[in-house]
Structure 1
């Protein structure tokens, strides 16, 4: 059934955007702590392309960009940057000042005049915190405000101090010692590459680009499953974590969004890696083997991907929106940029149509929702996350998670080219 052709109100956001969020057991969740005020004025035209319809829907749900991810207070939060990247590209394409205002309001709120970033704590060495630096790189290029430059320099200094594995791989966070996660490649490397492209030259730039490529080399060396071509969510060099295999240090499952993060990391780093850099061909080869692996586990009926990629037939697994959106974006951008043959567009289109036909709903005001998003998943911490199959399928499911809506906007833009 194609939900687009029907007036769907099941997932429609009310004026308080209380929303209907489903647990993996399909039971309603308490959402009072996630309430945000929604702008109910105006109707979003169905004649607009999907990219704009989704961004305008996000702006209605979250009038300030820091509210994305259901934040109650201003928070330096990595998912925001993905939606704002879509806003940047849409502003450049359309000239719509509403999109630019959405970006600038975030910068004005989150970066104080002295360059201090609201809620950012450098001492935590959390690689997730680098991703929003991409928004500041864009704003600094546009506005040349000193506060953005200072904030960018602060974020760049985190890279210099980031704890590393014995081979130079970035720890995911200081509280996660000796661990590399696929997520971290997206959180850190596009910002690192973009900053280097904009501010570094000569030997300094070459050193940084080599460091970036080394991160991918280490992921391929330690997290790749040679049998399937898929990559595990994380690797613990010390093999001390309860989730880590005692021989390999690997976590036990292939999580769709982790693979999505990794794919987006590769295609986005290639935007800034010099054409003549020796690591470029290698990164493209990684991207090719990666894509060959994910299309083998693409659901043939819907074109989507399962929460746990290789266990689609097992009880409780479900076709998940954020990972599917990220994988579609990775593949279509790779085709458009010539990293993959044109024949791979078929797989991207099948996935994109699957999202629209199975995961998108539209309310009476034209506001669209992306459903079946895994809210969050990780490893270790408190309470402890084991990385088991049961763990992944029982994390909260919700609608309109920016880790899905952002990649959907970016994928839509690639299809709209």
Structure 2
């Protein structure tokens, strides 16, 4: 058992005792009323949902590298999704259990030389850049040089990463000539934060233009003018079976891919220069997407379907990760002034839908998020053809970090 795990257990037990003590009411004669036998409360129900989910994740995955159900340490994008929310919780609450959880991840995954465990730059996988955002946080909090070395390694990947003919990052080396919406979130917020912190002069100008290019390219090739939604992937070569021979796009709109893209926009805008001419374009992209999301929000539940524009079709379902990503992006977009105030209601309706339909609480207080699509992609082996049947038949599971991380972040936005 690690020190961080022990501290987490102590905190959970302490909170549990406080919670139980508050329920130990006395009768009018001063005698303690006998209590019903209850399972020990690991996660107190008087905390906000952001903390309840974070503590539940720490309970489920005592080591942060275990997020996404890993059985051994592995550098992956999913850890960064959850840890981004937990870092925000530490900044808000000051509870050391949250920082310790992040710090132990950094100590495990980055050795004293700054080498990242299991990371292989030669694979040129844009997903691997995402968790680098947590290294900025650890570098700021600890000053340890190893984190800066690791950050610069990930930035070097972007310099050599293969690109489309106009400069868009391939999703992975094994997926040549393809841009996926997912990749905008995986690479661009890190790229923007790095540029804002460390780049100057012409180097910075070139980087900001490059970041803007990624968004303009995906808008140019993946946007469906009729719906305002963007297709999951685009193949410049038109060689993939899933690619439309005329446009190169995949055949359907997938909510989580759209969620990645929405989060990429609101997070990159945190760093993107106010005076850059492309900033207004990016705010425009966000507004157009927000309008489409409001249109396709399920009116009864407030949630969004796995295949975004086909609500009610057989086997389609209200999906948790995409819904939480939309809620976070809309709420943050309103708070930061990118979106009109009216989208706050769209976000709140969606959030209530998550609480009403997708959250389950165990007797011990542990919180579960249900109906999360485990994974979906395009191509590969076995081949994923991007059809409607493909998306609705991928595995569904509870507590996938691609859902719990955005839930924590959405909860924090709406807590404000």
Q: Same-fold call, TM > 0.5? A: yes
The corresponding residue for 2:191 is 192
Matched residue of 2:68: which SS?
A: helix
Q: Is 2:48 the counterpart of 1:85? A: no
Which residue in the other structure is 2:263 paired with? 264
| Aligned equivalent of 1:281 | 280
Query: CA shift at 1:358, angstroms?
Result: 0.2
Which whole-Å CA distance do the structure 1 matches of 2:393 and 2:315 have between them? 8
CA distance in 1, matches of 2:384, 2:291: 29
Aligned residue number for residue 341 of structure 1: 340
Q: Does the alignment pair 1:399 with 2:398?
A: yes
Partners of 2:307 and 2:388 within 8 A in 1: yes
Matched, 1:166 2:165: yes
Residues 122-147 of structure 1: CA deviation (Å, up to 9, x unaligned): 00000000001001011111112111
Q: CA deviation at 1:42?
A: 5.0
Listed as ranges, the gaps of 5+ residues in structure 2 are 1-38
1:43 and 2:42 are equivalent in the alignment: yes
In structure 2, distance between residues paired with 1:291 and 1:237: 26
Per the alignment, in what secondary structure is the counterpart of residue 160 of structure 1?
helix
Alignment of 1:15-414 (within 5 A): 43-414=42-413
> 2:356 and 2:205 mapped to 1: Cα distance?
45
Provide the secondary structure at the position in 1 that maps to 2:313.
coil
Deviates more, 1:235-244 or 1:269-278: 269-278
Distance 1:162 1:335 in 2: 34
Distance 1:161 1:248 in 2: 27
CA distance in 1, matches of 2:145, 2:332: 33
Report deviation, 1:43.
Answer: 2.2
The separation in 2 between residues aligned to 1:42 and 1:136, in whole angstroms, is 33
CA RMSD of aligned residues (A): 0.9
TM, length-normalised to structure 1: 0.90
Name structure 1 gaps, 5 residues minimum: 1-39
What is the rounded CA distance, in whole Å, between the counterparts of 1:65 and 1:157 in structure 2? 25
Tell me which moved more, 244-253 or 271-280: 271-280
The TM-score normalised by the length of structure 2 is 0.90
Whole-Å separation in 2 of the counterparts to 1:316 and 1:214: 37
- The answer to whether the Cα contact below 8 Å between 2:41 and 2:365 also exists between their aligned partners in 1 is no
Moved over 6 A (4+): none
CA shift digits 1:145-167 (9 cap, x unpaired):
11111111110000000000011
Separation in 2, partners of 1:43, 1:182: 37
Alpha-carbon distance in structure 2 between the residues aligned to 1:107 and 1:165:
33
**CA displacement at 1:45 relative to structure 2:** 1.2
CA shift, 1:198, in A, is 1.2
Q: Give the whole-Å Cα distance in 1 for the aligned partners of 2:310 and 2:274.
A: 38
Deviation at 1:275, TM superposition (A): 1.7
User: 1:277 and 1:84 mapped to 2: Cα distance?
Assistant: 30
Structure 1 partner of 2:17: none
